[in-house]
A and B are shown apart, each in its own frame.
Chain A
Amino acid sequence: MSGALTLLLTVLAQIAPSLHVSASITSIITTLVELIPILVKEFQDVVPLVKNIITALRGNNAITEEQLKSLDDLEAKIDAEFEAAAAMPDDEGMAP
């Protein structure tokens, strides 16, 4: 499921500038909303990010300063966790 989700998110990023057709946006929002219960169960870490996307696509107003600040903070945490993972020692025995 997550593989399909990452594919969807990648494509969403690609087409976001041209998302003006309400039917397309509605279809995307509906699919993302349906995914939330599955994500909560299996991929909880990405739920806030998917919810952010849903909120952005639903909203008629510009992204607020508060939303940007919140995303800045979340990204700082995500980046730190990635670097911590990258710095973990490589264990022997992993396949090439």
Chain B
Amino acid sequence: MRKLVAVVALALSLSACANLQNFWSTATGASVSPTAVYVARNSFDAIEVTATNYIVYCKVHPKTTGCSKVAIAKLIPAVRSGRVARNNLVQFQKNNPGVWGPSGLYNALVTATDTVQQISAQYNISGVGK
């Protein structure tokens, strides 16, 4: 329980920084380091895995409390959209090795990750089947 509180507290404290960061990126059109892209890719991938687990579980156990057709219908296009954003960023890096990624592509991935996370939170996706 203490660890859960620590995670939530850290996430919330970082959220304030995130808003400033989004403003800064949008305002300056700054580029993004390969390490930041790598972190963002892994974050999106982890959330995609969570979405996959929810969909599989709910299609096998459809009557489970928390399983929702609407949630699945929202998750599928959101994850696919995020994947496009991620792949565009990856392709940029492959075409331009060592060059920092454009913040526009990066922000698209971050926005997609946030969208999937919001759907997950709205439907308590992580709580199903646990």
Contact = CB atoms under 8 A, between A and B. Distances in A.
Interface of A: 1-19, 24, 27-28, 31, 34-35, 38, 42-43, 45-46, 49-50, 52-53, 56-57, 59, 62-63, 67-68, 71-72, 74-75, 78-79, 81-82, 85-86, 88-96
Contact of A9 (B8, B38, B43, B60): B43
Interface SS, A side: helix
B108 to A, nearest CB: 11
B113 A13 contact: yes
Contacts, number: 195
Q: Give the size range of B's interface with the partner.
A: 35 or more
Contact of A45 (B25, B49, B121): B49
A11 B18 contact: yes
A79 to B, nearest CB: 6
A32 B20 CA distance: 23
A82 B51 contact: yes
B56 A3 contact: no
